[in-house]
Amino acid sequence: MVLRATEFFSKEGASACDPATESAFFSALKMRNGTFKFTQPCRFSELERLIQPFVKERSGSLQEVLDIGVSTGVTTVEFANFLRSNGASAKVIATDLFINAHIVHAWPQLTVLADSEGWPLQYDFRGIVVRPWIRRLDYLTLAFVPRLLARWLLRARARALIAAGSSEVVQMTTRLLSNDGDILFVENDIMKRAPAFAGRFDFIRAANILNLNYFGERQINEAVANIRSYLRGPGALLLVTRTNNARRNAGTLFELLPSGTFQILKRIGGGSEIERQILRSRP
Ligand SMILES: C[S@@+](CC[C@H](N)C(=O)[O-])C[C@H]1O[C@@H](n2cnc3c(N)ncnc32)[C@H](O)[C@@H]1O
């Protein structure tokens, strides 16, 4: 059973939530770019073991760390724990295209969970969860017609209420693992340069985001240029990795050189698929 947003984000929701309930809640939320809010825990234990010596070596100097494309942040919390257990008390910023959401009481019997632009992610109609998104079967049964109509109406209504400040702001981040306030979740598009991030980070991780079947080469180059500009300077680390269906990682740990180019420190599982682009990129 999928929880209602008002239950999931309530104070009691945090203590009542278990991994299966949280996973069911998030994986039923379809973002406006067509992706679902879903990630899996414990993806990086082996990878972390292999990069541990490099992290230990620098533990004293890791002040700020950026994790890009974190989804619900389950693996960010693990990453922060890994850093801490290796002596690094870094502040972690976790970003994703979709972090913030709004609970909007659209009409007396209808509550909508919507993203920052009003895009409906869940309807709660008289306590019953209804999905706003359309699946293939809906085209056969014609259920897509009321769903499209509802989305059109409720998006406008949610957007107006959000703009008027009549919504409860929530973050679509994990409620399972303790986050002692060391992680700050921020909505950010890695394709758009964020001046607030310039020259700040000692370690950046991009896990399961910069994939060649998702982004074109030009977009990858843009993302890499942004990432470079976010690193503090020579010696800063960049980890790019992708997990396959067998839960194995193909990733590369890079170090930024004084020239502004990257060198490989460690290759895991054959290396990152965008290693070539990263090595070729120039400031
Ligand atoms: C597969 S999840 C990876 C989650 C986590 N890093 C992991 O490896 O378990 C990919 C995430 O990247 C986010 N994403 C996609 N495009 C993005 C962009 N341009 N900027 C920031 N995040 C993006 C998606 O919203 C999604 O949550």
Q: Whose CA is nearest to atom 14 of ligand 1?
A: 69
**Cα–Cα distance for residue pair 266/136, rounded to 1 Å:** 44
In a domain, 39, yes or no: no
- Residue 274 structural domain: 45-98+176-280
Q: Nearest Cα to 57, choosing from 249, 228, 274, 266?
A: 266
Judged against a pLDDT cut of 90, whether residue 180 lies above it is answered with no
Tell me the per-residue pLDDT of 43-94, one tens digit each, with 9 for 90 and over.
899 999 999 999 999 999 999 999 999 999 999 999 999 999 999 989 999 9
Would the pLDDT of 15 be above 80?
Answer: no
Q: State whether the beta carbon of 207 lies less than 6 angstroms from ligand 1.
A: yes
Question: What ranges make up the beta strands (E) of the chain?
Answer: 64-68, 91-96, 100-107, 110-115, 120-125, 128-130, 168-171, 183-187, 203-207, 237-243, 249-256, 262-268
pLDDT digits (tens, 9 = 90+) for 264-275: 999 999 999 999
153 and 136, same domain (yes or no): yes
CATH number at residue 234: 3.40.50.150
Is it the case that residue 172 has pLDDT exceeding 90? yes
* Pairing mode of beta strands 237-243, 128-130: unpaired
Please name every residue paired with 125 in a beta bridge, in sequence order, or none if there are none. Answer: 110, 128
Does 241 lie in the same domain as 112? no
- Tell me: do 91 and 118 sit in the same domain: no
CA nearest ligand 1 atom 16, residue: 97
The total number of structural domains that make up the chain: 2
Outline where DSSP puts E strands in 126-282.
128-130, 168-171, 183-187, 203-207, 237-243, 249-256, 262-268
Give distance in angstroms: CA of 209 to centre of ligand 1: 5
Closest atom of ligand 1 to 191 CA is 19
Q: Is residue 123 part of a domain?
A: yes
* pLDDT band, very low/low/confident/very high, at 260 (cuts 50, 70, 90): very high
pLDDT, tens digit, for every residue of 184-243? 999 999 999 999 999 999 999 999 999 998 999 999 999 999 999 999 999 999 999 999
Residue 252 CB less than 6 A away from ligand 1: no
CB neighbours of residue 20 within 10 Å: 8
Ligand 1 site, residue 239, Cβ cutoff 6 A: no
Cα-Cα-Cα-Cα dihedral sign, residues 72, 74, 78, 81: positive
Final residue before a domain boundary, out of 170, 191, 226 = 170
Does position 181 have pLDDT exceeding 70, yes or no?
no
Q: 131 with 80, same domain?
A: no
- The reply to whether 140 falls in a domain is yes
**What confidence score (pLDDT) does residue 273 get?**
96
**3 state DSSP class of 156:** helix
Looking at the structure, do residues 224 and 241 belong to the same domain, yes or no? yes
What's the pLDDT tens digit per position in 149-169? 999 999 999 999 999 999 999
Does residue 115 have its Cβ closer than 6 Å to ligand 1?
no
- pLDDT score of 1: 83
Please give the pLDDT value at position 247.
86
pLDDT band at 38 (very low <50, low <70, confident <90, very high): confident
Are residues 200 and 252 located together in one domain of the fold? Answer: yes
**Residue 88 carries which DSSP code?**
-
Element holding 16 (H helix, E strand): helix 11-16
Q: Are 28 and 119 contained in the same domain?
A: yes
Ligand 1 atom, smallest distance to 74 CA = 9
CB 43 near ligand 1, within 6 Å: yes
